């Protein structure tokens, strides 16, 4: 299953119809071609009463190709960084808490890009990748062009805890902060749904 944050709706790409649980604000649509995807997508996303749209095909890769063909794809990479004190690294950008991430450069490896972006946006070094986390997908528009952004995430450790954090101002970042696990409520109250997905996948509850 692939979960996509589409503005105020959730879109799921699934290869097992049993995943869909019928409810008033959700619908399941069988997709067999790019043309069918485009037709049903444009119809369903404009229905105000629908909050969740499930697109189904037995071949998930084919389904993703049908869906992503409607967008320009941008790939990014970033990290959830934890230090020796058990604190997590967050940036503050555009009025919301976020995790450091950025576009993967041409010819650059995903892990290399993730570490580089965290270092650039937060002004730190001494990062090590612990494990890969599930990617997130969300859409937005640039100059009326539809964008599908796939972000690869990694859990990271940092041994550069004494360094002064420096926000990358030119990227719109106004603050960088280590936040203890017990204080993450303030992040959850003011962040993106895709960031919550990353946190839920990486941090043990409680």
Residues 141 and 188 in one domain: yes
- 121, 186: one domain: yes
- Cβ contacts of 16 within 8 Å, gap of 6 or more: 1
Whether residue 93 sits in one domain with residue 35: no
Over residues 153-199, the pLDDT tens digits come to 999 999 876 778 999 999 999 999 999 999 999 999 999 999 999 99
Q: How many domains does the chain have?
A: 2
Burial class (CB in 10 A: 0-12, 13-18, 19+), 176: buried
pLDDT in tens, 148-160: 999 999 999 998 7
Residues 133 and 50 in one domain: no
In the chain, helix, strand, coil percent, each to 5? 25, 40, 30
Of the pLDDT bands very low, low, confident and very high (cuts 50, 70, 90), residue 203 is confident
Domain that holds residue 22: 2-68
Does 85 lie in the same domain as 53?
no
Three-state secondary structure call for residue 197: helix
Q: What DSSP element (H or E) covers 53?
A: strand 52-56
The DSSP-derived string for 91-149 is: EEETTEEE--EEEPPTT--HHHHHHHHHHHHHT---EEEEEEEEEEEEEEEETTEEEEE
Q: Among 116, 99, 113, which residue's Cα sits nearest to residue 178?
A: 99
Q: Each residue of 35-89: pLDDT tens digit? A: 999 999 999 999 999 999 999 999 999 999 999 999 999 999 999 999 999 999 9
- For 88-134, how does the pLDDT look when each residue is reduced to its tens digit (9 = 90+)? 999 999 999 999 999 999 999 999 999 999 999 999 999 999 999 99
50 and 110 share one domain: no
Whether residues 87 and 122 share a domain: the answer is yes
Asked if residue 95 and residue 49 are part of one domain, the reply reads no
């Amino acid at each position: 299953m692939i979960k996509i944050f589409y503005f105020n709706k959730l879109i799921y790409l699934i290869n097992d119809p049993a995943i869909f649980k019928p409810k008033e604000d959700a619908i399941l649509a069988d997709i067999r071609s790019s043309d069918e995807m485009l037709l049903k997508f444009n119809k369903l996303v404009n229905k105000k009463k629908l909050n969740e749209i499930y697109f189904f095909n037995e071949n998930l890769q084919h389904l993703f190709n049908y869906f992503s063909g409607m967008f320009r794809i941008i790939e990014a990479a970033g990290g959830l960084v934890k230090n020796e004190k058990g604190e997590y690294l967050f940036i503050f950008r555009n009025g919301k808490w976020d995790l450091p991430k950025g576009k993967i450069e041409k010819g650059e490896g995903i892990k290399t890009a993730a570490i580089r972006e965290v270092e650039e946006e937060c002004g730190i070094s001494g990062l090590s990748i612990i494990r890969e986390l599930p990617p997130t997908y969300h859409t937005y528009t640039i100059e009326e062009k539809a964008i599908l952004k796939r972000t690869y995430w990694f859990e990271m450790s940092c041994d550069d805890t004494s360094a002064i954090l420096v926000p990358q101002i030119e990227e719109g970042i106004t603050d960088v902060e280590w936040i203890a696990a017990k204080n993450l409520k303030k992040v959850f109250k003011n962040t993106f749904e895709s960031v919550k997905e990353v946190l839920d996948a990486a941090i043990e509850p409680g």
